[in-house]
Amino acid sequence: MNSTSVGRGAAMNALRRGLAAWAVLACAIASAAPAAKVDYEYFLTGSAADVVRAAPRSPSTVLLGGGPDVDDAFRWMINQSGGGDFVVLRATGADGYNAYVDGLGTVDSVETLVVKSRSAAADPS
């Protein structure tokens, strides 16, 4: 064995140790990074499976806010759903409407999506 082959072997070992050290450092940095902020929350009451009704009614929309809840508006939407899936969109709050809507009539599920920021509302994922 000549001195050139010994020198190359030692250099390769040093290179491998250096790359391994960088890999460990990169993993440590990545795990120490703060978690991404979640700009939405999702709540489900009832079945997670999509329901298919024999005679679906028509889609409906009711805009409420800033005042008391209007039971008749929610009942109308439940009737329009034909007992299907009921979706609540909110900018603040939590799942407070899930039990309320579920108690007003027969639905397959009540899903609430709380979108907390403008960027989350524009996020297609």
Amino acid at 91: A
Q: pLDDT tens digits for 5-44?
A: 455 555 445 545 544 444 444 444 445 545 566 788 999 9
Query: Which tokens belong to 69?
Result: 């809840």
Q: pLDDT tens digits for 76-119?
A: 988 888 888 899 999 999 999 999 999 999 999 999 999 999 88
User: pTM score > 0.75 for this model?
Assistant: no
Angle between helices 71-81 and 96-104 (to 10 degrees): 70
Whole-Å CA distances, 97 to 2, 15, 43, 86, 102: 80, 60, 10, 10, 8
| Domain ranges, ordered by start, for the chain | 1-33, 40-122
Yes or no: say if 110 and 102 are a contact pair by the CB < 8 Å rule.
yes
Residue 88 to residue 100: CA distance in whole angstroms: 11
Query: Which tokens belong to 19?
Result: 């790359």
Beta strands 40-46; 109-115: pairing state:
antiparallel
